[in-house]
């Protein structure tokens, strides 16, 4: 999020509204949910039906439209009080719903996506060390699980899943670049943490197995493979992918040659 803006919105972690460095995030859960929906669709119309679906699913109360309007009113009052922003500057009524008007640099997810694009471009140009630095900057914007302080309905659940998938993809890009740079030792602790957090993600397991092997720790590499095999068998009744089975054979072959 750009430091040049007095007002910023953060979704890569707990939802947070920051004004001049101080938090002014709504505390009421449903008001917070409405704000999260507007933030993630900033500069686009969020129709009232989507707000109702997010807050109450398929069984909204009869007063849903009026209540949704009340939540927007509360947001406008909060921002007028804490930020000094009038409704016509920030929360716009745009039939059939509402729009949160933000400028470039006010939303952390936009910065994350821009840094990701820059990192991908550097990778395509084989500028690996620069790409690692840029992708680390992108990942450093994350302060925890997306919208961690919001109880999501169906629309926010989908958005959170998309954001978390983006986070995983960027993490994989950065790790792959680090591996190509030969940073195997440095990656081991991080990869152990990642396989604990994402136990069914074979990509992270594979990179841990490879990093341990390249660091000369073949016994631990084979133990990491066996740990994955047990997890997949216990949770899904599956064996590791053919690629990982081939990697295990390569590690065993290295041991035989030693």
pLDDT at residue 145 in the model: 97
Which of 46, 70, 100 finishes a domain? 100
The whole-chain average pLDDT of the chain stands at 95
**96 preceded by cis ω (within 30°)?**
yes
Residue 63 structural domain: 7-100
The domain spanning residue 224 has which CATH number?
Answer: 1.25.40.10
The domain spanning residue 48 has which CATH number?
Answer: 1.10.10.10
- Residue 153 forms part of a structural domain: no
- Residue 131 forms part of a structural domain: no
- Residue 84 forms part of a structural domain: yes
Which of 69, 100, 131 finishes a domain? 100
**pLDDT band, residue 258 (cuts 50/70/90):** very low
Instruction: Using a pLDDT cut of 70, give the percent of the chain over it.
Output: 95
Domain count, the chain: 2
Which of 72, 100, 128 finishes a domain? 100
DSSP 240: P
Euclidean distance between CA atoms 233 and 212, whole angstroms: 23
If you average pLDDT over residues 1-21, what whole number do you get?
Answer: 85
Is the pTM for the entire model greater than 0.85?
Answer: yes
- Residue 157 forms part of a structural domain: no
DSSP 18: E
- Residue 154 forms part of a structural domain: no
Instruction: Report pLDDT digits (tens) over 214-236.
Output: 999 999 999 999 999 999 999 99
**pLDDT band, residue 255 (cuts 50/70/90):** low
Euclidean distance between CA atoms 215 and 175, whole angstroms: 15
pLDDT at residue 83 in the model: 84
Beta bridge partner(s), residue 93 = 98
pLDDT at residue 5 in the model: 65
Answer whether residue 82 shows pLDDT above 90. no
């Amino acid at each position: 999020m750009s430091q040049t803006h007095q007002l910023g919105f953060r979704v890569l972690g707990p939802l947070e509204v920051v004004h001049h460095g101080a938090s002014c995030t709504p505390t009421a859960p449903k008001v917070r949910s409405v704000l999260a929906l507007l933030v993630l669709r900033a500069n686009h119309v969020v129709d009232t039906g989507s707000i109702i679906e997010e807050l109450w699913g398929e069984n909204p109360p009869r007063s849903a439209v009026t209540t949704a309007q009340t939540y927007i009113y509360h947001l406008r009052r909060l921002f007028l009080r804490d930020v000094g922003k009038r409704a016509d500057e920030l929360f716009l009524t745009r039939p059939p719903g509402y729009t949160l008007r933000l400028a470039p640099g006010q939303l952390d997810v936009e910065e994350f996506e821009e840094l990701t694009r820059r990192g991908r471009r550097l990778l395509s140009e084989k500028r690996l060390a620069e790409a690692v630095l840029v992708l680390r900057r992108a990942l450093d914007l994350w302060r925890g699980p997306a919208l961690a302080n919001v109880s999501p309905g169906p629309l926010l659940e989908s958005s959170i899943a998309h954001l978390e998938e983006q986070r995983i993809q960027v993490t994989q890009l950065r790790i792959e670049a680090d591996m190509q740079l030969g940073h195997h030792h440095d990656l081991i602790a991080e990869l152990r943490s990642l396989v604990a957090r994402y136990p069914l993600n074979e990509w992270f397991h594979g990179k841990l197995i490879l990093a341990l092997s390249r660091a000369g720790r073949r016994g631990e590499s084979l133990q990491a493979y066996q740990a994955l095999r047990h997890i997949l068998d216990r949770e899904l009744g599956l064996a590791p992918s053919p690629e990982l089975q081939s990697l295990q054979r390569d590690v065993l072959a290295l041991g035989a040659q030693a």
